[in-house]
């Protein structure tokens, strides 16, 4: 072999050695991409099956509700019959609501106030009533404890028919009751102060 042939053989061998690892790396990267895509495909298929199961459950529930609605008797007629009203006894009025639910609620509050100067006030502070230094109330402390901020509430709910519901809510406390009420008592015979009411 001459030098030229040896040099060509070495160059070919070197080219094969350099080209082979690049090809192996490229094949490895392609294999990783394919594996990642397969995992993603499996995950998407699982999610699709879950969504299909949820959809089937929702359809079954919807069919049950529709069956109940179809089975419920109609309480109100859509209008007069095609041939006019027939003579005879009048139809019965719709039955009363099936159920009225009453919920009582509220809370008990134990509130107190302490003032360095005796203002002879209730829980709310009237800043115009702060005594001056020459007043006998200036050197007296003031402490009041009261439960008049306690609240009572009433929630009434009723079903007019299977499709309509009526509810009312009332809430009140004992703070603004009567002219002579103080932090110890609320005037009897006066209604509690309404704080919230809606229908």
Amino acid 52: pLDDT: 93
Could you count the other beta carbons within 10 Å of the beta carbon of residue 192? 18
Provide the 10 A C-beta neighbour count for residue 62.
10
Residue-by-residue DSSP string for 9-55: HHHHHHHHHHHHHHHHHHHHHHHHHHHHHHHHHHHHHHHHHHHHHHH
Dist CA 122 CA 139 (whole Å)? 18
Q: What is the pLDDT along the chain (199 residues), one digit of tens a residue?
A: 577 777 777 777 776 666 666 566 667 788 888 899 999 999 999 999 999 999 999 999 999 888 887 777 655 555 555 555 556 676 776 665 567 888 999 989 888 888 888 888 777 778 888 888 888 889 888 888 888 788 889 998 888 777 788 888 888 887 765 556 655 555 544 556 666 666 6
Residue 65: per-residue pLDDT: 85
Q: pLDDT value at position 57?
A: 93
* CB-count burial class (<10 Å; 0-12, 13-18, 19+) for 26: exposed
**Angle in degrees, CA 96, 100, 105, rounded to 5:** 165
């Amino acid at each position: 072999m001459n030098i030229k042939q040896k040099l060509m053989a070495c160059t070919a061998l070197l080219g094969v050695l350099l080209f082979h690892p690049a090809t192996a790396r490229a094949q490895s990267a392609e294999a990783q991409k394919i594996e990642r895509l397969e995992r993603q495909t499996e995950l998407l298929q699982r999610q699709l099956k879950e969504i299909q199961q949820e959809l089937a459950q929702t359809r079954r529930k919807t069919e049950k509700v529709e069956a109940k609605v179809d089975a419920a008797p109609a309480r109100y007629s859509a209008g007069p019959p095609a041939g006019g009203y027939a003579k005879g006894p009048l139809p019965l009025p719709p039955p009363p609501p099936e159920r009225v639910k009453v919920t009582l609620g509220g809370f008990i509050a134990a509130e107190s106030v302490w003032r360095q100067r005796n203002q002879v006030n209730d829980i709310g502070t009237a800043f115009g009533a702060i005594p001056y230094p020459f007043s006998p109330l200036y050197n007296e402390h003031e402490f009041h404890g009261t439960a008049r901020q306690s609240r009572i509430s009433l929630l009434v709910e009723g079903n007019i028919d299977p499709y309509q519901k009526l509810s009312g809510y009332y809430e009140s406390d004992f703070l603004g009751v009567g002219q002579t009420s103080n932090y110890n008592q609320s005037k009897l015979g006066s209604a509690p102060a309404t704080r919230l009411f809606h229908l």
